[in-house]
Amino acid sequence: MGGSGAASDDAIAALRAHLALERAARPPLDEQPFASVPLDEQSAEIARELLWEDHVAFVRETRRAEVDANAITIGDKTLRYDARVFGAKPAAGRSLYVSLHGGGEAAPSVNDQQWENQKTLYQPDEGIYLAPRAPTNTWNLWHEAHIDGLLRRLVEALIVFEDVNPNRVYLMGYSAGGDGVYQLAPRMADSWAAAAMMAGHPNDAKPDGLRNIGFTLHVGALDTAFDRNLVAQEWGELLDALRAADPEGYVHEVRIHAGKGHWMDLEDAVAVPWMAQFTRDPAPSRVVWLQDDVPHERFYWLAVPSDQATKGTKVVATRTGQTIRVEAEGVRTLLVRLSDALVDLDQPVTIEAGSTTLFSGPVFRTIGTLAKTLAERGDPALVYSAEVTVEL
């Protein structure tokens, strides 16, 4: 709920003074008294803008070299990429299409050639078409654990340096790149507006997390290796069932291209304008979060403690008015992040699980929560001003 106008004003003044310090001289923000002061809605928006401006300045100061080099490095893994710009930049920022090459467990030269092919394979009407080179040459080159962080760091940088619209980021990939899309689209769904899988195989992936993005599958009818054609049809049936049970979610399109094998003669290029219809909703009213073998600590407006981010756990959270209903499997502690885009934070909020009320009462906007959720992802549309922790 909102704090008093005077207290909110004082907190904003303290935040401005904090951000005016040299970075090395700043004490930890979350330990400052102003970080926990309840804010009114207007002050929370001012704080969000100030923190975002400071984040942009930090990224520009520290990450220019990696963007200039077209290479993102975390630890011992480097993601090189080629980027090409199409169309005029919209007022809200450019779209971004991340396109994953094929190949896999082969000599580096093979994967290099696949990368070269991917660089010019598709052309959006508008946006940045970006083809990264996988950091490894393994069979699962696009869904190893390091990929998620590298892609997120890449998108975070391009939001700042290329004015990418964070709500118009798309994922696509061919063959082994399609394998990656099957895996990365659901487990990183809160990063994408839509995704397109071409000629891949899902391995152990499941579609549950796709609830709030557009998802399209393209496979040749004669692409029998690993039963890619049959598995794509099975995923189509799974998605049909999910949409039938949840008609406001799981928008999808499945195309099995008659007479085509593993190479579809670019018939699959129709996936690009299909994806372009979609803009990410960063505050969906329903979230389905199923953890796979690369678990995450947060997904849309939900989060868990790091020691509870484990494979196979599942949370379904649905907001109706001021009430959030939670169904959970394998999760003990759930962090529910809130903003004025989700609920009216000047009114009490209720969180329920089954017949049990987990929380009911006021929720406070704070600078600390804004700063924490911005630092986690560097995504201005996935910043939350309030947080409630519930035990399930």
- According to the model, what pLDDT value does residue 4 have? 67
Three-class secondary structure of residue 170 per DSSP:
strand
- According to the model, what pLDDT value does residue 310 have? 96
Domains of the chain: residue spans and CATH: 5-61 (no CATH), 70-276 (3.40.50.1820), 286-391 (no CATH)
- According to the model, what pLDDT value does residue 19 have? 98
Concatenating the DSSP letter of every residue in 287-337 gives: EEEE--SS--SEETTEE--GGG--TT-EEEEEEETTEEEEEEES-SEEEEE
The predicted model scores a pTM of 0.96
Average pLDDT per block of 10 residues along the chain, 392 residues long: 81 98 96 97 97 98 97 98 98 98 96 98 98 97 97 98 98 98 98 98 97 98 97 98 98 98 98 98 97 97 96 97 97 97 97 97 98 97 98 94
- According to the model, what pLDDT value does residue 3 have? 64
Q: Is residue 59 packed enough to be buried (19+ CB in 10 Å), middle (13-18) or exposed (0-12)?
A: middle
Q: Which residues contact 277 (CB under 8 A, 6 or more apart)?
A: 194, 214
In Å, how far are 100, 207, 210, 214 from 251, measured between CA atoms? Answer: 22, 12, 9, 5
H runs (alpha helix) in the chain = 5-20, 41-62, 64-68, 108-119, 145-161, 176-187, 228-245, 271-276, 367-377
Torsion angle in degrees (nearest 10) through CA of 63, 68, 70, 75: -30
- According to the model, what pLDDT value does residue 1 have? 62
**Which residues, in sequence order, are bridge partners of residue 121?**
none
